[in-house]
Amino acid sequence: MSETDPANIVIVDDNPDNLQVLGSMLQQEGYKVRPALSGELALRAMAASASDLVLLDIRMPGMDGYETCRRMKAQPATTGIPVIFISALNESEDKLAAFEAGAVDFVGKPFQAAEVLARVRAQLKLYRMQQHLETMVTERTAELRLTCESLENSRSRYRCMLEQTIQAIALTIEKRDPYTAGHQVRVSRLATAIALELDLDADTIDGLRFGSMIHDIGKIYLPAEILSRPGRLSATEFALVKTHAEVGNEIVAPIEFPWPVAQIILQHHERQDGSGYPHGKQGREILLEARILAVADVVEAMASHRPYRPALGTEKALDEIRRGRGELYDPAVVDVCLRLFNERGYRLPP
Amino acid sequence: MRLPWERLLGVRFQYAIPDAAAERPAPPDLSALPDHLRRELAQAADRLDVEATEAAIAHVRNIDPALADHLAELARVYRFDRIASLLIEAPAPP
């Protein structure tokens, strides 16, 4: 029903004379009238073509007005159509029953034409406003859904690009240090498995995953000879290697990641007892993500081959975190890591 | 058993049995209406659409004025259900 269309009104009364009187009155006001001699006919007609208002008698042979109204309200197509009862039954309980059946108004017989028309006008105005609002809500909801879909697509693309960029950065570091090729990816997978076992939320896990993938980015600042030189490093060389956490932090800090990636990188060599570097942070001063990364980093590094020593194997690596549990490494993280390897069958990827 | 006035008059009345079938007028036949007009009329009647029913009856009048009168009378007393039934009862043209 548009603002300009004449409203169409279904009148239901088993008495043709009443239909005639009401119908003429409404037609003179410009309404389109659809007269029904029974509730059944009215329901069938409204199923075939929508109506804007129903004027409904109560006492009718067969289906009475209450039942007609209840059935209208039970059908999605007709539930919103306003129903005005118009009846000679004028007791309070009759009116109450009418409203309980779903009526919006009640007019007693004999009625005044002006009163019926005023009530019809008021209900039609309300119905039009309600329909207008519903249309607006439907349109806005559809627009919002499209916007959300578009945002989701953009987010997926952005995420894909971010992941590819991070992988490219990780690859750049490992190109300079072939002995540790794949280290960051393997650490990232183990750290993610630990985080999942710890039941961390998806967003935190994402931050940890990305942080782990580039946690050694600071090593790009180190001479390649130091990274790939067999044998033990001198104290000076080791001091230089230790700067990679801060350098990594400086490289990543300007990037507005939605996660504390720079801090994860900065803190991944901190230890529970404050013996780590660069700032000697202790316990919960260290980000949970960094505590997880620390364990994953040590396990992967010890289990794998290094320029200065052959691979020590997973068992030795697990012994190390078992020994350092609580003192060097977060005990909860260690427990979960051990459970992954010993009970869940986790294996470091080749 | 004789009725009291039969006894008083000394006669026996014989009552004619009314022929119900002969008295009831045959329902109007809508089968001669073209398909599109039957559909137009059926749709208007199903929707209780007074104006559309009147328009369809006006078209019927061009084909069968007596049938149009009958349908107009049904519409006047809001017997849209009867119009719909007549359409269902009438076989479609071959």
Looking at the fold, whether A131 and A276 belong to one and the same domain comes out as no
H-helix segments, chain A: 16-28, 39-48, 65-74, 92-101, 113-176, 183-197, 202-213, 224-228, 235-241, 244-252, 261-267, 288-303, 314-323, 331-342
Residue B5: per-residue pLDDT = 63
Q: Residue A350 domain-assigned?
A: no
Q: What is the mean pLDDT of residues A301-309?
A: 80
Tell me if A41 and B51 make a contact (CB, 8 A cut-off).
no
Q: Which residues of A touch B51 (CB under 8 A)?
A: 32
pLDDT digits (tens, 9 = 90+) for A109-122: 889 999 999 999 99
Q: Using pLDDT thresholds of 50, 70 and 90, give the confidence band for residue A323.
A: very high
> Residues of chain B whose C-beta is under 8 A from some C-beta in A?
43, 46-51, 77-81
Q: Indicate whether A38 pLDDT > 90.
A: yes
Q: Using pLDDT thresholds of 50, 70 and 90, give the confidence band for residue B86.
A: very high
Tell me if A35 and B79 make a contact (CB, 8 A cut-off).
no
Residue A178: per-residue pLDDT = 67
pLDDT digits (tens, 9 = 90+) for A133-191: 999 999 999 999 999 999 999 999 988 998 888 888 888 877 877 666 688 989 999 99
What percent of chain A has a predicted confidence (pLDDT) above 90? 77
Looking at the fold, whether A200 and A322 belong to one and the same domain comes out as yes
Residue A221: per-residue pLDDT = 87
Q: Residue A348 domain-assigned?
A: no
Q: Please tell me if residue A19 touches chain B, with a CB cutoff of 8 Å.
A: yes
Element housing A287 (H / E): none
pLDDT digits (tens, 9 = 90+) for B12-61: 767 666 555 555 566 788 888 999 999 999 999 999 999 999 999 999 99
Tell me if B48 and A45 make a contact (CB, 8 A cut-off).
yes
Smallest Cβ–Cβ distance between B46 and the set A10, A16, A48 belongs to: A48
Smallest Cβ–Cβ distance between B80 and the set A32, A41, A49 belongs to: A41
Q: Measured between alpha carbons, how far is A284 from A282 in angstroms, rounded to an integer?
A: 6
Tell me if B50 and A48 make a contact (CB, 8 A cut-off).
no
Tell me if B81 and A41 make a contact (CB, 8 A cut-off).
yes
ipTM: 0.73
Looking at the fold, whether A51 and A116 belong to one and the same domain comes out as yes
Looking at the fold, whether A218 and A301 belong to one and the same domain comes out as yes
Q: Residue A163 domain-assigned?
A: no
Q: Measured between alpha carbons, how far is A212 from A216 in angstroms, rounded to an integer?
A: 8
Nearest chain B Cα distance for residue A19, angstroms? 8
Q: Residue A167 domain-assigned?
A: no
Nearest chain B Cα distance for residue A93, angstroms? 31
Looking at the fold, whether A206 and A316 belong to one and the same domain comes out as yes
Q: Residue A147 domain-assigned?
A: no
Q: Which residues of B touch A41 (CB under 8 A)?
A: 48, 80-81
Looking at the fold, whether A47 and A192 belong to one and the same domain comes out as no
Say how many Å lie between the first and final Cα of chain A, rounded.
Answer: 69
Nearest chain A Cα distance for residue B81, angstroms? 7
Looking at the fold, whether A128 and A199 belong to one and the same domain comes out as no
**What does pLDDT average to over chain A?**
92
Looking at the fold, whether A188 and A294 belong to one and the same domain comes out as yes
Q: Please tell me if residue A55 touches chain B, with a CB cutoff of 8 Å.
A: no
| Residues B30/B38, Cβ–Cβ less than 8 Å | yes
Looking at the fold, whether A183 and A137 belong to one and the same domain comes out as no
User: Final residue of a domain: which of A97, A126, A142?
Assistant: A142
Nearest chain B Cα distance for residue A134, angstroms? 25
Q: DSSP E strands: which ranges in chain B?
A: none
Long-range CB pairs of A143-147 (<8 Å, 24+ gap) are none
Nearest chain A Cα distance for residue B43, angstroms? 8
pLDDT digits (tens, 9 = 90+) for A202-229: 999 999 999 999 999 998 888 878 877 7
Looking at the fold, whether A308 and A203 belong to one and the same domain comes out as yes
Q: Which residues of A touch B80 (CB under 8 A)?
A: 36, 41, 45
Tell me if A10 and B48 make a contact (CB, 8 A cut-off).
yes
Residue to test with chain A: of B48, B54, B82, B83, most A Cβ within 10 A: B48
Q: Residue A347 domain-assigned?
A: no
How many domains does one find in chain A? 2
Element housing B53 (H / E): helix B50-63
What CATH number does residue A40 fall under? 3.40.50.2300
User: Final residue of a domain: which of A90, A124, A142?
Assistant: A142
Tell me if A33 and B43 make a contact (CB, 8 A cut-off).
no
Q: Residue A149 domain-assigned?
A: no
Residue A259: per-residue pLDDT = 94
Tell me if A34 and B50 make a contact (CB, 8 A cut-off).
yes
Q: Which residues of B touch A34 (CB under 8 A)?
A: 47-50
Q: Which of A80, A87, A88, A128 is nearest to A104 (CA)?
A: A80
User: Final residue of a domain: which of A142, A166, A190?
Assistant: A142
Residue of chain B whose Cα is closest to the Cα of A38: B81
Residue of chain B whose Cα is closest to the Cα of A49: B47
Residue B19 phi/psi, 5-degree rounding, is -90, 95
At residue A258, the 3 state secondary structure works out as coil
Q: Could you list the residue range(s) of the whole structural domain that residue A44 is in?
A: 8-142
Tell me if A49 and B51 make a contact (CB, 8 A cut-off).
no
Nearest chain A Cα distance for residue B87, angstroms? 16
Q: Indicate whether A30 pLDDT > 90.
A: yes
What CATH number does residue A198 fall under? 1.10.3210.10
Q: Residue A294 domain-assigned?
A: yes
| Residues A27/A52, Cβ–Cβ less than 8 Å | no
Looking at the fold, whether A238 and A90 belong to one and the same domain comes out as no
Tell me if A34 and B77 make a contact (CB, 8 A cut-off).
no
Residue A163: per-residue pLDDT = 85
Looking at the fold, whether A129 and A183 belong to one and the same domain comes out as no
